[in-house]
Structure 1
Amino acid sequence: MTDPVLAIDFGTSNTAVAVLEGGRPRLLPIEGGAATLPTAVFLPAGGGAMRIGAAAAEALIAGEDGRYMRALKSVLGTALFHEPRLIGRQRRTLADIVTAFLAGLKSRAEAAAGRRFDRVLSGRPVHFHTAAPDRDAAAEADLRACYLAAGFAQVEFALEPEAAALASPAPRRPGGLGLIVDIGGGTSDFSVFRTGGDGVRILGSHGIRLGGTDFDHAVSMAHAMPLLGLGGQLRRSLGDGLLPVPQAIYVDLSTWAMIPFLYTAETQRAVADLQRHALDPVPMRRLARVIGDHLGHDLAFAVERGKIAANSGLRGAGIDMGMVEPGLSVPVTPGSLNAALQPQRAPLEGALRETLFRAAVAPAEIDTVVLVGGSSLMALVESEARAVCPQARIERSEVFTAVADGLALATAPGAGLGAGLR
């Protein structure tokens, strides 16, 4: 690729862009003076311009009437991505919305850099969808089409953990091996690399569909959703006995990408039916309030804050559900957090070991583990990395911008990321 090239790390939760200047990456300020932009949009109910980033969250917090959306990257490669829906007085697809987000991002980057960008090198996870090659290919095709529709003339992709390897500190031993552990909002990606006189050499990469939004989902299901009726019982319409409350609404309410699609008449009818049959009507009244007043994202942000606080070991950490009912809250302790996230440990460990297998490297050979991505700050990530590579030093790169830095470095002539650059 020839200059000018815009490097974009389009993330599930946050997005960053960079350019290569004088052989070094330069992050562009795309959110005020900040180098990262929340990957979120707000579409006003009465029409008008779509808001992106912090402005989207501000509109949600202010209680403006409209549709807030986050984690759109997780829907790439699915039928839902191309399904037209009436949003903000217009029939749109999620593809239209992602395209508008990328067009806004392009405009901000050009204003910050003072030049036009027609070419983009975009990061992508090793796998958008685990063990689903057709959906994985469809997801990349979806994202490529959105970039082209947003005004870019040439689009190339590089694997995100391989890009992060380019921007990572070299292993402490000359010729030593490093392991990138990149835990983002929607995926976990890994690369084994060696740094030498000829630069960074990627020995193997792997990835799974597991990330921070999955952690949020697990915490919400274990802590917040029981206060809305999950785990309760229903009286039968006919006959004796009780039935368990179905989980489907709670699963979607705990999933960032699915929350906007719960605000329908069909969901309200289903919740009303649950209220009529609930053995304990109080939690169901709370659920009706969340759906009726469109409080799903407010609750999701509260869950995310509670997760972060408990992960940091803060005393009194919890999920403030006062937006649902005054004074309503649920504690999140390090122990309850660990219990909620326990099922995530096995796939994470398995992915780490699979990466080493693909690189034909033994765990003892890894000199340095480099943690990248906002969700790598979760304690279980470091503990699993230490368990798999106990002799390695643990380092943290620029967790939110390492991929963008590496993508910018990858635009240099001859930088190439092997199979990752295509």
Structure 2
Amino acid sequence: MTTQQSKTLAIDFGTSNSACAIIDNGIVRRIPMERESETLPTAVFFPASRGGMRIGSAAGQALIDGDEGRYMRALKSALGTPLLNEARLIGGKRRSISDIITAFLAELKARAETATGAHFTKALSGRPVRFHSKDDARDAQAETDLRACYLAAGFEAVDFMYEPEAAALASAGAAASGDIGLIVDIGGGTSDFSVFEMHGTQVKILASHGIRLGGTNFDHAVSMSHVMEHLGHGSELERELGDGRLPVPSSIFVDLATWEKIPFLYTQDTRRMVKQMLPLAVEAQKLGRLENVLVDELGHDLAFAVERGKIAANATGARSQIEMGLIEKGLAAQITEGSLNAALSTYGDQIRNAAMETLVRAQTAPQQIKSVVFVGGSSLMGMVSREMATLCPTSQQDYGEAFTAVVDGLALATQT
């Protein structure tokens, strides 16, 4: 890096991936966070015995290698919820998710300072338009929580900018004066939308809107519809006394399909509950697989398998399978483009309706949209592009910088 660097660090702290950038001599410079990569997974791993917290790909590699410890992902989803400040024994020490987010942000700051030679006192952080769709108090609390984490991580001040509005700044170069565009930012935890209009080279935001829905919800839906039946979801238990049967409680499967809740299933109480159900299970083999997942702590391995299956099926005519061989040799769940679309069908409606609401707030008709700009990894789902083609049939679809548009726009905003 050279001179004239901004002292403000732009940070896209995402549910699934994070990135940092600065303005260096008037140019956006993304800061490599690991192995020259401009993004890194928002994931952490705490070894069971010794060693410090690992983040990003190193955290995922520890999970793949079968190292003993605690893997955690989708930390951002806990902001504004009671789960954020619940202390649990993690890596030999009682920690809350708030503590872990703080440590993660501190590591981003340290790596950015090492890479640039600068000292960053201020952060400009992206945030979704809505952390929580319909709860204003919880939405405000989420920003308060995140601000506290930034300050505890060593920043003296932090400002926030809506992520789709940052993406609009980064997308301005491809638009002509007078053009109206729609940003569709589907991340790991939220879906955000901004309608923008170009005035010369300046971006004017006409309206922004968002809902709490993202890639982790897609994973959850696929897991519940394709995988959990193989672990006993929907099966029954014989009554200990009397005739008839009872359903296996669904809550454990719901949590196992939820990224941020997986680490908290590995308790003696949960394992004991499943062990007590086994002798009563009508389909004991399936419930035995659930027990294996909990005892061997395979929840995240299963979630990654679901994610891979979802991505593989996201193609015209695609047919794949969700591999579960770690649980039982040869075990797999079939997934096709059709079954994927069926699992996500209600989400498509929500995304289209949220985008339409953004257009209404912007007082803009769908046919006025020149281009729809897709941002965030989950915007690459075919379901999303189909819904936007239905809503804005005359617009062009642009996938330019889906993974870095937000951090680029945040860096540009540090100049103002």
Gaps of 5+ in 1: 414-422
Asked whether the equivalents of residues 318 and 337 of structure 2 are also in contact (C-alpha less than 8 Å), the reply is no
Asked whether the equivalents of residues 20 and 30 of structure 2 are also in contact (C-alpha less than 8 Å), the reply is yes
Asked whether the equivalents of residues 171 and 178 of structure 1 are also in contact (C-alpha less than 8 Å), the reply is no
Query: Is 1:353 the equivalent of 2:353?
Result: no
> What pairs up with 1:182-331 in 2 under 5 angstroms?
182-197=185-200, 199-313=202-316, 315-331=318-334
Asked whether the equivalents of residues 170 and 178 of structure 1 are also in contact (C-alpha less than 8 Å), the reply is no
Asked whether the equivalents of residues 75 and 81 of structure 1 are also in contact (C-alpha less than 8 Å), the reply is yes
Which residue is 2:53 aligned to? Answer: 50
Alpha-carbon distance between aligned partners in 1 of 2:391 and 2:299, rounded to the nearest angstrom: 37
Alpha-carbon distance between aligned partners in 2 of 1:274 and 1:112, rounded to the nearest angstrom: 53
Asked whether the equivalents of residues 102 and 147 of structure 1 are also in contact (C-alpha less than 8 Å), the reply is yes
Deviation digits for residues 318-366 of structure 1 (CA, Å, limit 9, x no counterpart): 1000000011111110011011111212211110111111111111111
Which residue is 1:32 aligned to? Answer: 35
Alpha-carbon distance between aligned partners in 2 of 1:62 and 1:136, rounded to the nearest angstrom: 37
User: Match of 2:20, SS?
Assistant: strand
Asked whether the equivalents of residues 228 and 284 of structure 1 are also in contact (C-alpha less than 8 Å), the reply is yes
Structure 1 residue 9 displacement after superposition: 0.2
Query: Is 1:107 the equivalent of 2:113?
Result: no
Which residue is 1:384 aligned to? Answer: 387
Alpha-carbon distance between aligned partners in 1 of 2:233 and 2:220, rounded to the nearest angstrom: 14
Alpha-carbon distance between aligned partners in 1 of 2:117 and 2:151, rounded to the nearest angstrom: 21
Alpha-carbon distance between aligned partners in 1 of 2:373 and 2:16, rounded to the nearest angstrom: 20
User: Match of 1:43, SS?
Assistant: strand
Of the three residues 62, 65, 71, the one matched with 2:65 is 62
Asked whether the equivalents of residues 67 and 87 of structure 1 are also in contact (C-alpha less than 8 Å), the reply is yes
Alpha-carbon distance between aligned partners in 1 of 2:27 and 2:374, rounded to the nearest angstrom: 21
User: Match of 1:223, SS?
Assistant: helix
Structure 1 residue 231 displacement after superposition: 1.4
Alpha-carbon distance between aligned partners in 1 of 2:201 and 2:176, rounded to the nearest angstrom: 16
Structure 1 residue 244 displacement after superposition: 2.1
User: Match of 1:387, SS?
Assistant: helix
Deviation digits for residues 145-188 of structure 1 (CA, Å, limit 9, x no counterpart): 11111111110000000000000145655302100000000000
Asked whether the equivalents of residues 323 and 333 of structure 2 are also in contact (C-alpha less than 8 Å), the reply is yes
> What pairs up with 1:166-185 in 2 under 5 angstroms?
166-169=169-172, 174-185=177-188
User: Match of 1:167, SS?
Assistant: helix
Which residue is 2:407 aligned to? Answer: 404
Asked whether the equivalents of residues 110 and 117 of structure 1 are also in contact (C-alpha less than 8 Å), the reply is yes
Asked whether the equivalents of residues 172 and 203 of structure 2 are also in contact (C-alpha less than 8 Å), the reply is no
Taking every aligned residue pair, what percent have the same amino acid on both sides? Answer: 59
Alpha-carbon distance between aligned partners in 2 of 1:175 and 1:315, rounded to the nearest angstrom: 40
Structure 1 residue 396 displacement after superposition: 0.9
Structure 1 residue 247 displacement after superposition: 1.0
Asked whether the equivalents of residues 176 and 200 of structure 2 are also in contact (C-alpha less than 8 Å), the reply is no
Asked whether the equivalents of residues 37 and 53 of structure 1 are also in contact (C-alpha less than 8 Å), the reply is yes
The one-letter code of the counterpart of 1:123 is: G
Alpha-carbon distance between aligned partners in 1 of 2:366 and 2:316, rounded to the nearest angstrom: 29
Deviation digits for residues 48-75 of structure 1 (CA, Å, limit 9, x no counterpart): 3110001101111111111000000000
Which residue is 2:143 aligned to? Answer: 140
Which residue is 1:154 aligned to? Answer: 157
User: Match of 1:77, SS?
Assistant: coil
Structure 1 residue 195 displacement after superposition: 1.1
Query: Is 1:6 the equivalent of 2:9?
Result: yes
Which residue is 1:371 aligned to? Answer: 374
Alpha-carbon distance between aligned partners in 2 of 1:201 and 1:76, rounded to the nearest angstrom: 29
User: Match of 2:29, SS?
Assistant: strand
The one-letter code of the counterpart of 2:21 is: A
Structure 1 residue 113 displacement after superposition: 1.2
RMSD of Structure 2 on Structure 1 (CA): 1.3
Deviation digits for residues 220-249 of structure 1 (CA, Å, limit 9, x no counterpart): 101111100111122122221122222101
Alpha-carbon distance between aligned partners in 1 of 2:211 and 2:56, rounded to the nearest angstrom: 26
Which residue is 1:418 aligned to? Answer: none
User: Match of 2:326, SS?
Assistant: coil
Asked whether the equivalents of residues 178 and 192 of structure 1 are also in contact (C-alpha less than 8 Å), the reply is yes
Alpha-carbon distance between aligned partners in 2 of 1:51 and 1:68, rounded to the nearest angstrom: 9
Deviation digits for residues 13-42 of structure 1 (CA, Å, limit 9, x no counterpart): 000110012322111100111000100000
State the TM-score, normalizing by the size of structure 2: 0.97
Gaps of 5+ in 2: none
Alpha-carbon distance between aligned partners in 1 of 2:135 and 2:386, rounded to the nearest angstrom: 28
State the TM-score, normalizing by the size of structure 1: 0.95
